[in-house]
Amino acid sequence: CGQTPAAARAAGCTFDLGTAAWLPPDCFDEELHAEFMSQGPWKFYHNTSDFVCGEDCLTYPEPSQLVPLETLDDISGYLSYFVWTDRRYHVSHCMYAWKLMHRQMEKGRKMDQILISWHHTAHCVDSMNRTYMSPEV
């Protein structure tokens, strides 16, 4: 989809908030994306040096730090540098990625290379384990 939002738009790509990436038409699932968006609201915050999420991630930045969703596609190439989100989005992103991979496989369609990597799957499993598994389990 190119290196910039302008290039992605020119290539006919769509910004997918569930994957936080620009996806070409063959990789974008409009129905699944609409389902993901309906589970919001999704909140993103400016990533500032004075805010550090602790292990529990139960404290959040001030509401003034909210990033409007409509601006995320313009900074999409720098999301991990400029914005922070909560654990709810992160876990939902992982579940969305797995659903998207499954649907793309069923349809014999292309898939985003980052999402299908073992590293991403292992990262998601680790994130979900930290979120839902207590030490007693």
* Segment 74-127, tens digit of pLDDT: 655 555 556 677 788 889 999 999 999 999 999 999 888 888 899 999 989 988
Residue position matching structure tokens 């292992």:
122
User: What is the C-alpha separation between 28 and 109, in angstroms, rounded?
Assistant: 10
Residue-level length of the chain: 137
For helices 87-107 and 118-132, angle between their N-to-C axes, nearest 10 degrees: 140
Q: State the burial class of residue 122 (Cβ atoms within 10 Å of its Cβ: 0-12, 13-18, 19+).
A: exposed
More confident residue, 54 or 123: 123
Q: How far, in whole angstroms, is CA 79 from its chain's centroid?
A: 9
Residue range 59-78, pLDDT digits in tens = 556 656 666 666 666 655 55
Query: Which pair of tokens denotes residue 71?
Result: 């601006």
**Res 131: pLDDT:** 79
pTM above 0.85, yes or no: no
